[in-house]
Amino acid sequence: MTQLILKPGRERSLLRHHPWIFEGAVERLVGRAKSGDTVEVLGADGRALGKAAWSPKSSIRARMWSFNPNEIIDDAFFKRRVAAALARRTVLPELQGQQGLRLVHAESDGLPGVICDRYGDILVLAFSSAGAEKWRQAITAALLKGTGCTRCYERSDADLRSLEGLAPRCGWLQGEADGGMPTIDEHGISMEVDVVAGHKTGFYLDQRDNRLLVRRLAAGRRVLNCFCYTGGFSLQALAGGAAQVLSLDSSAPALATARRNLALNPQLDAGRAEWREADVFEEQRKLFAAGARFDLIVLDPPKFAPSPAHAESAARAYKDINLQAFKLLAPGGLLMTFSCSGGVGSELFQKIVAGAALDAGASTHMQARIVRRLGPAADHPVLLDFPEGDYLKGLVCMVD
Ligand code: SAH
């Protein structure tokens, strides 16, 4: 088998079980490898470190499949990895019976470049690395068999694929949508999931627990949901008895789905909901100028910093929306604010939010306190050896 020899000292991160081998760590290949081929990884001293998938176009030149040098990477290997990922979802009680569930969370489930979300009896798969692409059929078969699902849609259209030299690919791998899109039940609320045209695999499952928290905090409050997508937080706020919910998003199709979602839940008081197609950066200023104030604001923006290189411009954007949000809060109000940028760590995020609160309170002497720290739901595990997987962080802040 082709061998990947590392430069001296570059075995260190692998010994800590970090799964990425960067371009600059590779001394040479002994033998040939095509995109996605399995290579044996060796330290400069010849020590065998495991098996990886070769990706000649990416700056992440190889991703580790296994740190066991004797592991054979074949169909049976992927069956075992998929079975382990499925088993992990059966342990925590809050995941049991969920109709929408992330079954495979890439590196953190030992399957770099593989995402699998389940919506009812439909699996949505996304392959974003050269190795995942090579083994997609084996992985798909293992997931269909392991779950008993009969329908499976591929959404391999993330920008990441181009970095790996892969073209986008979307379509039904098995079965197809029978008429409409699937709906899932989340905390008693029906949500339509557009697996074909929605963002990512159609739904942001990582925010499941935080949407329940909004429901618990919403009673009697005037709620502003910024970056509402298909209305997940908005509908939970209504279910929790919010006085009113104003939801903002720049995507007309997402808002159309949000409206359909509200209609799917006739138990909610639609008269309390307003959807507005708007740019959050502009609309927050307009709302402030118009004197609008809120008791609970949710800020769940898209990824402003895909990598640490974007951290600075992302920090400015986070600061701006958080600053405007603090200004829009009524006394005693709550801000639930998130960052899903891998390139912005939780310490930096907290600093940005603190700066925003300080500036917002400059004239009023308002102060804000963290009352909760938030992260993704348990079906989005974070491998301790892979801090890059720790992308979603959130704070609930209470103002004076
Ligand atoms: N909170 C949502 C997920 C938000 S995803 C949920 O729980 O499902 C981020 C959303 O921000 C997307 O719907 C995207 O359309 C929207 N968006 C991106 N940039 C925006 C902007 N400048 N103004 C308003 N919405 C924006």
Q: Closest residue (by CA) to atom 13 of ligand 1?
A: 229
Tell me the pTM.
0.96
Mean pLDDT of 264-271: 98
Query: Would you say the CB of residue 279 lies under 6 angstroms from ligand 1?
Result: yes
Number of the ligand 1 atom closest to the C-alpha atom of 280: 23
CA–CA distance, 266 with 220 (Å, rounded to integer): 19
Q: Per-residue pLDDT tens for 229-241?
A: 999 999 999 999 9
Which of 193, 229, 313 should be mutated for ligand 1, with most atoms under 8 A from CB? 229
**Residue 306 pLDDT grade (very low, low, confident, very high; cuts 50, 70, 90):** confident
Q: At 307, is the pLDDT very low, low, confident or very high (cuts 50, 70, 90)?
A: confident
Residue 302 confidence (pLDDT): 96
Give per-residue pLDDT as tens, 96-149: 999 999 999 999 999 999 999 999 999 999 999 999 999 999 999 999 999 999
Kindly report, residue by residue over 14-47, the tens digit of the pLDDT: 999 999 999 999 999 999 999 999 999 999 999 9
CATH superfamily for 75-174 is RNA methyltransferase domain (HRMD) like (3.30.750.80)
The predicted model gives 142-164 an average pLDDT of 95
pLDDT of residue 179: 67
Question: Are 245 and 261 within 8 A, CB to CB?
Answer: no
Q: Is the pLDDT of residue 390 over 80?
A: yes
Please tell me the distance between residue 263's alpha carbon and the centre of ligand 1 in angstroms. Answer: 21
Ligand 1 atom showing the smallest separation from residue 301 Cα: 9
Cβ of 254 below 6 Å from ligand 1: yes
> With respect to CATH, is domain 199-399 assigned 3.40.50.150?
yes
Is any ligand 1 atom within 6 A of the Cβ of residue 233? yes
Q: For atom 10 of ligand 1, which residue has the closest CA?
A: 227
Q: 189, 193, 249, 296: which to mutate for ligand 1, most atoms within 8 A of CB?
A: 249
pLDDT band at 309 (very low <50, low <70, confident <90, very high): confident
Question: What angle do helix axes 136-147 and 75-88 make, rounded to 10 degrees?
Answer: 40
**Reported CATH class of domain 3-66:** mainly beta
Summarize the confidence of residues 51-56 as an average pLDDT: 98
- CA 130 to centroid of ligand 1, rounded, Å: 29
297 alpha carbon – ligand 1 mean position (Å) = 14
Cα–ligand 1 centroid distance for 227 (angstroms): 3
Instruction: Give 226 Cα–ligand 1 centroid separation in angstroms.
Output: 7
Domain boundaries, given as residue ranges, for the chain: 3-66, 75-174, 199-399
- Which two structure tokens, joined as six digits, stand for 199? 């963002």
> If you measure from the C-alpha of residue 74 to the centroid of ligand 1, how many angstroms do you get, rounded to a whole number?
39
pLDDT for 60-91, tens place per residue? 999 999 999 999 999 999 999 999 999 999 99
Active site residue 340: yes
- At residue 160 the predicted structure's pLDDT band, cuts being 50, 70 and 90, is confident
Structural contact between residues 68 and 358, judged by C-beta atoms closer than 8 angstroms: no
Q: Atom 20 of ligand 1 has which residue's CA nearest to it?
A: 250
- Catalytic residue (choose from 149, 152, 228, 340): 340
- Is the model more confident about 106 or about 365? 106
Per-residue pLDDT reduced to its tens digit, 200-213: 999 999 999 999 99
Centroid of ligand 1 to alpha carbon of 219 (angstroms): 24
326 lines ligand 1 (CB under 6 A): no
For ligand 1, whether the C-beta of 227 sits within 6 Å is yes
Q: Which atom of ligand 1 is nearest to the CA of 300?
A: 1
Q: State which of 192, 227, 230 you would mutate to test the pocket of ligand 1, scoring each by most atoms of that ligand within 8 A of its C-beta.
A: 227
Query: Is any ligand 1 atom within 6 A of the Cβ of residue 275?
Result: no
